[in-house]
Amino acid sequence: MTEEPAGRCVEVTVERLEGSKVKLGITVDREEVARAYDRACRNLAGQVNVPGFRRGKVPRAVLERHVKPEAFKEEALDIILPASYSQALDAKDLEPIDRPQVNVVSFAEGEPLVFEATVEVKPEVKLGQYTGLGLSVPPKPVDEADIQGQVEAMRERRAELVPAEPGTKLADGLFAVIDYHGTVDGEPFEGGDSEGVLVQLGAGQLETEVEAAVKGAQAGEERECALTFPEDIRNESLRGKTAQVKVRVKEVKVKKLPELTDDLVKELSGLENVESLRKRIAEGLEERARREAREELTRQVVEKVVEAAEVEIPETLVTRRTEQATEDMNERLAAQGLDLDRYLAIVGLDREQWDKDTRARAKHQVKKDLVLEAISRREDIRATDAEVEFEMARLAAATGQKPEKVRKLFRASPARLESLRAGIITSKTVSYLVRENEARIALPDGAVKSESGRDSESGPGPKTKGEGRGEGK
C-alpha cells in the first residue's frame, strides 16, 4: 500500500485486491470540505422559498432554520465525492472499468473527508517482444488461370439464356422454365402453385426431391414427386406433412457466352483491345494480392504481439464485449426478420456453443485492445488534432453529410470524440507494429527495405511526432 499527496487537497492510498480490483483510501482536506459546504449552501438556497428573501439570496444562518443539517451534508457530499474520486484516479494513473463501491468513513463540516472506493480498473499489461519479429507474407502470384477467371466473369455478365437443342435432357448447370402444382391430402396449399419459374439445376434453387424428379427430363415432360415438409417450417399446418408435387418442364435453356472481341472489350471497359484488358486485369489482381498479403501480415503481427503479452483479463470487460456482440448480431438479424435462436436453428448451430464461442472471441478482442493500448502508451503514439479533423472529414464524405455537421456531432459528445481519437491511435499503433516487425532486405547500396518494398524508415506515409519512438523493447 502506498500513500502520497494527489494534488492540493487529496491524499490517496492504493491497495491491490484480487483480480484487477483496487481499494482506494482517499482523504480530502478540511478546506476543500468547507468549499463543498459553501457550494451546497448556494445550491440549496436556490431551491428553498423563504419569506422575505429572493430565491438564491437566503443567508446561510436563515437557511439553516429551514433546511435540515442532513440536507446540507448530502448536498456537500454529492459535490465533493465525484471530484475527489476522479482526482485520486488521475493521481495514481488508474482507469476504472466499472462503477466504484464507495464507503464514507467520516464526513463532517470543519473536518477532512475520509472515504474508500473499491473499483475494478484496467489491468497492467506485461508486454513481450513487439518489435523485430521479422515477419513476411509474400503476395500470391497471379497466373493465367486467375486472369482467365476474371475474363470469364465478364463474359458471364453478358451471357444470354437460349433454348437448348431439341431432346436435351436436364442436368446440373442447365436452366429450365417450369410449372408446378402441389397438394396435401388432395388439397392445394399456400405457395404450392406457380407457373413459368426459371431455375438452374444444381444451384440449390429447388427442393432436393423436386430437383431429383426433373433431372433427365426434356422440354414438355411432366414429372411427379413426394415432398415432406420439415417440422420447423413457418406454415404450422404443413409441418411434417407430405405433399404430392407435379412439375411440368416447359423449356430447357442453356447459357450462351459472348465471344470476347475487341469490340466487346471497348463496350465493357472502354479499353482498346483484349490484350489491354488482360493487362489491366493482371495489374488489378496483383494489387489485390499485395493488399491481401499486407492484411495477412498485419493480422500475423498483431496476433504474435498479443500472444507474447501477459495480462489478467477482467471478466467485466469480457462480459461487456460479449453482450455487445450479441446485441449487434440481434440487430442485424432483426433487419432480416429473424432472431438469434431462429438463425441458429437455420444454420444448425447450438445456442450454448454459440455463446461459448462468442465469449471466447470477446476475451481475445479484449486482450488485443489492452495490449495495443499499452504499446501506444509506451511508444507515446497519439492522435493529433489534424488527424482527428481529417477522420471527421472522411466520415462526412463517406456518409454524404456536411463536414461541419459531423464536427458538431462529435464536439457535442465527448465520449464519441474520445472513441474517434482512440480509433485513430489504435490504427497508428497497428501501423507502427507492422513497420517494426516486417522482414527487412539489404540492398546493394547499403539501404534497407521491407520485403513489401516499403521504406523501412518512413513506413506507409510520413511519420509524425507522437507516432512512436521505435525503440524495440
pLDDT confidence tier of residue 143, bands split at 50, 70 and 90: very high
Q: Per-residue pLDDT tens for 293-340?
A: 999 999 999 999 999 999 999 999 999 999 999 999 999 999 988 889
pLDDT confidence tier of residue 50, bands split at 50, 70 and 90: low
What is the C-alpha separation between 11 and 84, in angstroms, rounded? 10
Torsion from C-alpha of 167, 168, 169, 173, nearest 10 degrees: -170
pLDDT at 396 over 70: yes
Closest by Cα among 148, 169, 153 to 215: 169
Question: By percentage, how much of the chain surpasses pLDDT 90?
Answer: 59
- Provide the total of helices (H) and of strands (E) in the chain, helices listed first: 13, 12
33, 67, 79, 100, 230 from 75: Cα distances, Å: 12, 11, 6, 19, 65
256, 260, 275, 301 from 146: Cα distances, Å: 22, 16, 15, 28
Type of residue found at 116: E
- CATH code at 2-120: 3.30.70.1050
Q: Per-residue pLDDT tens for 174-228?
A: 999 999 999 988 888 888 888 999 999 998 888 889 899 999 999 999 999 998 8
Question: By percentage, how much of the chain surpasses pLDDT 70?
Answer: 86
Q: Per-residue pLDDT tens for 351-376?
A: 999 999 999 999 999 999 999 999 99
What is the C-alpha separation between 73 and 88, in angstroms, rounded? 21
Highest mean pLDDT among 39-43, 52-56, 134-138: 134-138
DSSP 84: H
32, 241, 298, 378, 464 from 127: Cα distances, Å: 40, 61, 18, 10, 24
What are φ and ψ of residue 451, in 5° steps?
-65, -20
Mean pLDDT of 103-109: 90
Quote the cell numbers at residue 342: 431462429
pLDDT confidence tier of residue 4, bands split at 50, 70 and 90: very low
Q: Is the pTM of this model over 0.85?
A: no
What is the C-alpha separation between 310 and 17, in angstroms, rounded? 18
* Ranges of each domain in the chain: 2-120, 160-256, 379-473
Right CATH for 160-256 from 3.40.50.720, 3.30.465.10, 3.10.50.40, 3.40.1280.10: 3.10.50.40
